[in-house]
Structure 1
C-alpha cells in the first residue's frame, strides 16, 4: 500500500502553485525519478485546480488514486497513493497536512506565493503515513480483530475431535434446551453469525 506523494498547493490565482511536497520515488529507476515526480506534481495541480473550494474528491488514474481537498481559503492538498491505500486514511493525512501547514506557515506567506515555501512537516507526515495501519488506529484495531477471529476459528476447529461436527455436538448435548437446538438449526440455515463452519 504505497504512498507516492503529498502535495500542498495554492489554488488561486491561476496557475496553481505548489507550496510544499514530499515524494516516494523508490519504485522508479534512476532515469524515471524526475519524470515521475513531474507527472505526480502535474496531476496534483490539475486535480486541485478542478476541485471546488470546500470540496474533496478521489480520482483514479491507472493504478493510482489521487485524493484531493481544497479548503475555502484556496489551500489545496493532494495525496497520491496506490489503489490498496485506504481512502479514509488518505483524507486523514490531507487534514493533518492542512493542520501542520497552517500552524507553521501563515496565510500571508502562502496566499500569493509564486514559489515553494519552507515547510518541514511534509516529510514527517509522509513517513508517518507510509504504513496506513500504523497511522490509523481504526485500521490497527480492525487488523487485530481479524487476527483474533482467525485464532478463535482455529481454536474451535481444534476443540472438535476428528470427524466430529458442531451439529452433532449440539444434537447430543444435554445442556441445551430444545428451543436452543432449534435456534441453532435455524441460525445455521439463514447463515447468521451463530453458525460456525
Structure 2
C-alpha cells in the first residue's frame, strides 16, 4: 500500500490549475522521478477537468488508482495510490480538512497558533516595559526638580528671618 501523490487543483472554465501537490517518489529510480511526477501532475489535472462538480470517482491509469473529488466550488483533490490502497481511506482524506485528517498536522497547527499568541504576549510585555522605563525616567526627573525646588525655597526663606 502506497500513496504517490496528493494534489489540490482548481477546476477553471477552460482548464484545471494546480494549486499545491505533494509527491512521494522514493520508490522510483532517480532518473524516473521527474517523468513520473510530470505524469502524475498531468493525469491529476486531466481527471479534475473531466469530473463533474460535487462528485467523486476512481480512475485506473496504468498500475495506479487515481481517486478524485471535485467540490461544488470547483476545488478538486486527487490522490494517486497503488491498487492495494483502500479507496475508503483515500476519499476520507479528500473529504476532511487536512487539519483533521492528520494528527501531526493538527498538533503542528495548534503549536503555530500558540507560538503566535506567545509572540503577541511578548510584544505587549516589551511595550509595557518600555512604558515603565519612561515612567521611571519621568519620576527621576520629577524628583530632581523637586530637590531643586526645595533648595531654592530654602535659600529664599533663609534670607528673611523673623525675630
- State the TM bucket, normalised to the shorter chain: 0.5 to 0.7
Runs of 4 or more consecutive aligned structure 1 residues displaced over 6 Å after TM superposition: none
Task: State how far apart, in whole Å, the 2-side matches of 1:67 and 1:81 are.
Answer: 8
What secondary structure, in the 3-state scheme, does the structure 1 residue paired with 2:43 have? helix
How many Å separate the matches in 2 of 1:13 and 1:41?
19
Structure 2 CA distance for aligned equivalents of residues 89 and 64 of structure 1: 15
Task: Provide the TM-score with structure 1 as the length reference.
Answer: 0.49
Output the aligned Cα RMSD: 2.2
* C-alpha distance in 2 between matches for 1:100 and 1:23: 16
Instruction: Give the Å deviation of 1:24.
Output: 0.7
Matches of 1:31 and 1:59 in 2, distance apart? 26
Consecutive unaligned residues in structure 2, runs of 5 or more: 106-163
- Greater helix fraction, Structure 1 or Structure 2: 2
Secondary structure in 2 matching 1:59: strand
Larger Rg: 2
What displacement does 1:91 show? 0.4
Residues 56-112 of structure 1: CA deviation (Å, up to 9, x unaligned): 00001121100001000000000000000000000011112xx239xxxxxxxxxxx
**Structure with more of its chain in strand, by fraction:** 2
> Where does structure 1 lack aligned partners over 5 or more consecutive residues?
102-120, 126-197
| TM-score, normalised relative to structure 2 | 0.59
